[in-house]
A and B are shown apart, each in its own frame.
Chain A
């Protein structure tokens, strides 16, 4: 049985589709503010030419509004400074089209809106291993999930771990859990014999993890065991994973970190 979410809109407010809004942000340079550039395609909507267009950046209590003119005369600005924000971390945008006319229903009526718009961050890279808060984990602190669509994710118990980012950056997690996690992910990444490495090189999570490990190892060529099958393939693959995990441990200075909580000093 399929389920369908039905919503009602009694306000006559027009929902502005995300594909008609593009917001690109550059994080703050030393001493400055972040800036954003926007492209709006609002021609296809039934707004009045005099309707006012506002873009709002917000993050919890922080909020700043930018006046973008009217539907009939949108202000085209190269980039706008977000002076109320010191960085763009966690900032979302809201686009509002507001009636400039006083109507029988009142003043300052919202004619159209789009909420919770995540901007594109120039030059940004997403984490290769996102931390996902998980309500269902009640006896384990964390669990690794491997998925070809979303890539590897570490699910962290909401009830047992108060701060998943602090947990994941702690010496204990980095030294005890991360080498095991990296090993498991790399074994998964290179386990598919018919994987199209060339076609998926820049997009597939398996390829992204392979590339990241090759960079750590200073390798430029795809490891030989991923080519034609051979008798030594399994041994070569295991050795490559061992080397990559060792390189990861060196990079995070595992020995130094472990001394902190083992109290060897």
Chain B
């Protein structure tokens, strides 16, 4: 276990981190070496600064199997930080993604790969959900009383958020509605794994749910519904998913 004091990147540190991402993307760096590429920025006095209050640490060697595990590991630590607005703290989320970059810059076969900048840097407001650390943390925090309700957008590997997260995590009307997120978890998840076909785009898929919610949200106040009320609104194409989940289908 390698403990690392939590810091945040300075504006210069953010630029240095984006240079590192650019070098990986350009193929100048083909193998990440923590001591050579990450540590000089993550601990450098010019690139980082410490946070006020209690000294808090992360475990650099912790390998997270899922976004849920990553967010669950960080939540009790970060809520102790003495910062005004944790989710808006500039440089913190980027520092965390830099510290764990070796596991966050991987493709499905485990090879070094960085995607778009917003996976590591908090860029435009509407892209914050794509950040590989802030994205799952913010959802976990919103559902902190029962985070398992949001498993449908937290079950994947941290470096590969996947189709369901892309479809459901991107839309405010979905992530801001406890009924919708909880219902989607019931429909598409069996315990901590997705049901077969949940990553597809066919009838009743998350992609279709996204499209249906787009319509329902204009007519119904989804935020005041409970999951069962929302499930009743879904059209027939979702019946097979309801059956798989053991939810009674609606008589029409």
Contact = CB atoms under 8 A, between A and B. Distances in A.
Interface of A: 11, 13, 28, 54, 56, 58-63, 65, 85-87, 89-90, 96, 98, 105-110, 133, 162-163, 165-172, 260-261
A162 B123 contact: yes
Nearest to A63: B176
B54 to A, nearest CB: 16
Interface string B185-222: 00000000000000000000000000000000011110
Contacts of A54: 221, 223-224
Interface string B1-28: 0000000000110110010010000000
Contact of B138 (A60, A165, A261): A60
Contacts of A162: 18, 21, 117, 121, 123
Interface residues of B, number: 38
A166 B88 contact: no
Contacts of B11: 165-171
Contacts of B224: 54, 65, 98, 108
A89 to B, nearest CB: 5
Which one of A58, A60, A168 has the greatest number of beta carbons of chain B within 10 Å?
A60
A165 B90 contact: yes
19 contacts: A58-B176, A60-B125, A61-B175, A65-B223, A86-B84, A86-B87, A86-B88, A89-B85, A90-B125, A96-B221, A108-B221, A110-B221, A133-B124, A162-B117, A165-B11, A165-B90, A167-B11, A170-B12, A172-B12
Nearest to B89: A86
A12 to B, nearest CB: 9
B170 to A, nearest CB: 11
B242 interface: no
A86 B126 CA distance: 19
Given A87-B88, A162-B123, A61 B129 contact: yes
Nearest to B9: A166
Contacts of A170: 11-12, 15
Contact of A61 (B90, B122, B138): B138
Contacts of B67: none
B43 to A, nearest CB: 17
Contacts of B141: 61
B173 to A, nearest CB: 10
A162 to B, nearest CB: 4
Contacts of A163: 14-15, 18, 117, 121-123
Minimum-distance CB pairs A-B, first 6: A169-B11, A166-B14, A86-B85, A87-B85, A63-B176, A162-B117
A212 B85 CA distance: 29
Nearest to B138: A61
A105 B221 CA distance: 13
B36 interface: no
Contact of B221 (A11, A109, A261): A109
Interface string B118-156: 000111111011000000001101100000000000000
A62 B129 CA distance: 11
A62 B87 contact: yes
A151 to B, nearest CB: 22
B164 to A, nearest CB: 16
A133 B12 CA distance: 19
B56 interface: no
Given A61-B175, A169-B11, A110 B138 contact: no
Contacts of B122: 163
B60 interface: no
A11 B129 contact: no
A177 to B, nearest CB: 13
Contacts of A96: 221
B46 interface: yes
B229 interface: yes
B150 to A, nearest CB: 9
A172 B225 CA distance: 51
Nearest to A260: B46
Contacts of A90: 88, 125
